[in-house]
C-alpha cells in the first residue's frame, strides 16, 4: 500500500526510533479506544444471555450458557414485534414530513425567496439555537387541547419542523446551478414542478442524509413520543423502554434484552450506511 501520512507525524519522521515508539503508542491508544467504545455493547449482549438469578448475582462478564431462547422468550413475552411495527410507522411518516416540509421551506428560502423570506430565515436560524426541549411543556399542552395526543400525527409533523434540516437543505439548494432552474422556468414548469422534477432529483444525496438522520432520530426519540403515545397501543420501542426503566415493571434480565432489541436496528442501519454517515457528519456537522 502506498499511503502517505497525513497527520502530524510525516513520512520523513517515521524512520526515527523515538517516532516508531510513538507510533506504537498511537496504535495501543487506538486499540484502547476501540475497546472502550465496543465493550459496553458487547457486555449488554452477553448480559442478555443471563437469567434473572445469574444477572443479579454473577460477578462474571460472560453468561453460564448461551441460550438464544432467552432472547426469543422475552421478545414474545413483551410483544416487542408490535412496538417494532409502531416504530416503523413513526419512522415512515417522519421521513415523509422531514423531507417534504423542511425541503419545501428550504426551497422557498433559497430559490423562490418570496417577500419576507428574510424574517422566516432569521426565525429558523434562531430556532437552531434554542433547544427544542424548552418547547416541550407548551407543545404538550396545545397538543392536548387540540386532542392530538394518542396517535403518531403530532410526532410525524414535528419531524417537519426541524431547523437543522432546513439549514442543510438550503445550503445544498444554494449550491445548485441556477441555470437549471431557469431552464425549467422557461420550459413552463410551475414552481411545484421545478421542485419535484428538478430540485429534488438533483438533491438525492442530501435527501439520503436527511433520511438517515430522521430514521435514527425517530427511532431513538422518546420524550415527546412518551407524552403523546403513553397508554395507547401505539407505543414505540423507545416509549416501552422508557416505561420499563422508570416504572420498574420489568425484570432486570428482560430489561437488558429489551435494550439489545432497541439497539439492533440502528446498528444494522449503521453498517449499511456507515460510509455515508461518517462522511456526511463532517459536511453536515451534527451529532445524533
Tell me the closest approach of the beta carbon of residue 140 to other proteins, in angstroms: 8
Dist. CA 166–CA 210, nearest whole Å: 10
Total of chain residues touching other proteins, rule CB under 8 A = 102
Burial of 118 (0-12, 13-18, 19+ CB in 10 A): exposed
**CA 119, 212, 122: angle at the middle one, nearest 5?**
10
Tell me the closest approach of the beta carbon of residue 86 to other proteins, in angstroms: 15
Task: Round the CA-based radius of gyration of the chain to a whole number and report it.
Answer: 24
74 CB contacts (<8 Å, ≥6 apart)? Answer: 80, 253, 254, 257, 258, 261
Tell me the closest approach of the beta carbon of residue 106 to other proteins, in angstroms: 8
Site string for other proteins, 45-84 (x = CB under 8 A): --x-------xxxxxxx-----------------------
> Of residues 27-46, which lie at the interface with other proteins (CB under 8 A)?
27, 29-30, 33-34, 36-38, 40-41, 43-44
Closer residue to other proteins (CB): 2 or 178: 2
249 binds other proteins (CB under 8 A): no
Stretch that binds other proteins, among 12-20, 73-81, 179-187, 199-207 (CB under 8 A): 12-20
282 binds other proteins (CB under 8 A): yes
Q: Indicate which single residue of 90, 227, 228, 229 sits in contact with other proteins (rule: CB under 8 A).
A: 227
Instruction: Taking the CA atoms of 130, 133, 137 and 138 in sequence, report the sign of the dihedral they define.
Output: positive
Tell me the closest approach of the beta carbon of residue 213 to other proteins, in angstroms: 10
Q: Indicate which single residue of 157, 176, 200, 202 sits in contact with other proteins (rule: CB under 8 A).
A: 157
* Cα separation values, 254 from 17, 121, 148, 182, Å: 53, 47, 32, 59
> Of residues 160-199, which lie at the interface with other proteins (CB under 8 A)?
160-161, 163, 166
DSSP state of 14: T
Tell me the closest approach of the beta carbon of residue 260 to other proteins, in angstroms: 8
DSSP assignment of 211-244:
HHHHHHHHHH--HHHHHHHTTSTT--HHHHHHHH
> Of residues 258-277, which lie at the interface with other proteins (CB under 8 A)?
259, 262-263, 266-267, 269-270, 274, 277
Looking up cell 420498574 gives: 248
Stretch that binds other proteins, among 68-76, 112-120, 180-188, 197-205 (CB under 8 A): 112-120
- Report yes or no: 155 and 136 within 8 Å, Cβ to Cβ: no
3-state helix, strand, coil in the chain (%, to 5): 75, 0, 25
Stretch that binds other proteins, among 72-80, 106-114, 178-186, 196-204 (CB under 8 A): 106-114
Closer residue to other proteins (CB): 169 or 234: 169
Amino acid at each position: 500500500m502506498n499511503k502517505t501520512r497525513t497527520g502530524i507525524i510525516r513520512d520523513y519522521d517515521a524512520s526515527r526510533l523515538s517516532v516508531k515508539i510513538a507510533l506504537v503508542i498511537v496504535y495501543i491508544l487506538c486499540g484502547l479506544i476501540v475497546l472502550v467504545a465496543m465493550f459496553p455493547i458487547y457486555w449488554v449482549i452477553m448480559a442478555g444471555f443471563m437469567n434473572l438469578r445469574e444477572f443479579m448475582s454473577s460477578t462474571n462478564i460472560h453468561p453460564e450458557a448461551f441460550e438464544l431462547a432467552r432472547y426469543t422468550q422475552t421478545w414474545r413475552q413483551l410483544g416487542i414485534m408490535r412496538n417494532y411495527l409502531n416504530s416503523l410507522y413513526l419512522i415512515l411518516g417522519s421521513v415523509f414530513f422531514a423531507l417534504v416540509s423542511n425541503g419545501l421551506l428550504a426551497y422557498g428560502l433559497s430559490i423562490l425567496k418570496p417577500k419576507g423570506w428574510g424574517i422566516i430565515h432569521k426565525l429558523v436560524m434562531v430556532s437552531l439555537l434554542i433547544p427544542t426541549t424548552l418547547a416541550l411543556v407548551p407543545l404538550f399542552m396545545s397538543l392536548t387541547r387540540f386532542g392530538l395526543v394518542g396517535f403518531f400525527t403530532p410526532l410525524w409533523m414535528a419531524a417537519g419542523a426541524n431547523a437543522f434540516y432546513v439549514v442543510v437543505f438550503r445550503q445544498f439548494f444554494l449550491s445548485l446551478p441556477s441555470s437549471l432552474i431557469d431552464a425549467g422556468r422557461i420550459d413552463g414548469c410551475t414552481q411545484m414542478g421545478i421542485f419535484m422534477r428538478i430540485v429534488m432529483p438533483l438533491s438525492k444525496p442530501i435527501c439520503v442524509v436527511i433520511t438517515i438522520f430522521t430514521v435514527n432520530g425517530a427511532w431513538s426519540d422518546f420524550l415527546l413520543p412518551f407524552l403523546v403515545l403513553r397508554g395507547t397501543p401505539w407505543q414505540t420501542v423507545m416509549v416501552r423502554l422508557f416505561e420499563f426503566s422508570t416504572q420498574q415493571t420489568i425484570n432486570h434480565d428482560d430489561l437488558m434484552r429489551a435494550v439489545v432489541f432497541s439497539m439492533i436496528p440502528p446498528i444494522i442501519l449503521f453498517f449499511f450506511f456507515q460510509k455515508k454517515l461518517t462522511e456526511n457528519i463532517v459536511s453536515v456537522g451534527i451529532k445524533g
